[in-house]
């Protein structure tokens, strides 16, 4: 009888439904990385590599609260092309901020700061190119604007000797629209730079300008190359050469106009 009772109890236990597995809560933390190649590194309409290619990459951390921090780097040549630094070929950025949607709407705000670091040796009498900016952004879905304000000299620029350029600002209007279920996207940008104390409208000291960009990209949706982005764009500025000197503030020592219109192609992979 004892054996029969044990057998019945075991059978009853086996017949009970299995306890549901405990669902793992999604982590509020996320880490990502990116690596890219571009035919010309353009920053706010200006070539940072004298029209030559660049390899770029970075790491990012984000929290569900909206907090994010990250770092990004690229090779550059402009500091040597303008004889400002020696043995300087790197830009290394450090940034962080807070970005959230407003309530349950598609509107968002983004408060951030970024520090641009250029390791290397400054030539005699040259102001440090290292730049610290704070920024405030606002947007809706694929449209947005961002206002950046320099707390230091603007990338070492002092068009008029002795006149600092902290307080310079840049206003960026942008649109990035992803076409649903295709991997295709189109983007456009218009920017306004106001460099403090850049003197008159003469090309020799005028560092303020406007720039624009328009382009398209395709991101691979699946397979081994998933998240590989291929893109192309055209960019230009209103910073033209002087009819008198044939140059402007952005013409390097070789005579290359880093502010001229140019077409760019790039590859970027997210991880």
Q: Confirm if 134 and 148 have CB atoms less than 8 A apart.
A: yes
Domain for residue 17, yes or no? no
Q: 11 pLDDT band (50/70/90 cuts)? A: very low
Q: Confirm if 60 and 35 have CB atoms less than 8 A apart.
A: no
**Owning domain of residue 177:** 28-270
Domain for residue 3, yes or no? no
Q: 26 pLDDT band (50/70/90 cuts)? A: confident
Which residue is it, tokens 């880093």? Answer: 258
Is residue 19 pLDDT above 60, yes or no? no
Domain for residue 79, yes or no? yes
Domain for residue 258, yes or no? yes
Structurally, how many domains does the chain consist of?
Answer: 1
Rounded Cα distance between 5 and 212, Å, is: 84
Mean pLDDT of the 61-83 span: 97
Domain for residue 16, yes or no? no
- Per DSSP bridges, beta strands 184-194 and 169-178 are antiparallel
Domain for residue 15, yes or no? no
Mean pLDDT of the 199-209 span: 76
Rounded Cα distance between 238 and 197, Å, is: 19
pLDDT at 71: 98
Q: 74 pLDDT band (50/70/90 cuts)? A: very high
Domain for residue 13, yes or no? no
Domain for residue 179, yes or no? yes
CATH of the domain at 37: 2.40.160.40
Beta strands in 181-225 (DSSP E): 184-194, 209-219
Coil/strand/helix, residue 250: coil
């Amino acid at each position: 009888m004892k054996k029969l009772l044990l057998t019945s109890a075991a059978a009853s236990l086996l017949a009970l439904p299995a306890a549901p597995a405990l669902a793992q809560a999604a982590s509020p933390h996320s880490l990502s990385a990116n690596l890219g190649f571009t035919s010309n590194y353009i920053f706010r309409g200006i070539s940072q590599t004298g029209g030559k290619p660049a390899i770029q990459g970075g790491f990012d951390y984000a929290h569900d609260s909206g907090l994010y921090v990250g770092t990004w780097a690229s090779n550059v040549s402009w500091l040597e092309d303008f004889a400002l630094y020696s043995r300087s070929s790197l830009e290394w950025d450090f940034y962080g901020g807070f970005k959230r949607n407003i309530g349950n709407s598609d509107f968002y705000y983004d408060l951030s700061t970024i520090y641009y670091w250029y390791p290397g040796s400054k030539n005699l009498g040259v102001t440090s190119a290292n730049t610290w900016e704070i920024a405030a952004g606002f947007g809706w879905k694929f449209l947005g604007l961002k206002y950046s304000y320099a707390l230091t000299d603007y990338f070492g620029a002092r068009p008029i000797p002795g006149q600092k350029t902290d307080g310079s600002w840049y206003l960026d209007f942008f649109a990035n629209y992803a076409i649903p279920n295709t991997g295709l996207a189109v983007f456009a940008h218009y920017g306004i730079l106001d460099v403090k104390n850049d003197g008159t409208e003469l090309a020799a000291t005028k560092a303020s300008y406007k720039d624009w960009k328009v382009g398209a990209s395709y991101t691979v949706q699946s397979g081994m190359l998933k998240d590989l982005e291929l893109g192309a764009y055209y960019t230009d500025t209103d910073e033209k050469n002087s009819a008198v000197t044939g140059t402007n503030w952005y013409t390097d020592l070789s005579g290359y106009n880093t502010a001229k219109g140019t077409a760019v192609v790039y590859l970027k992979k997210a991880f």
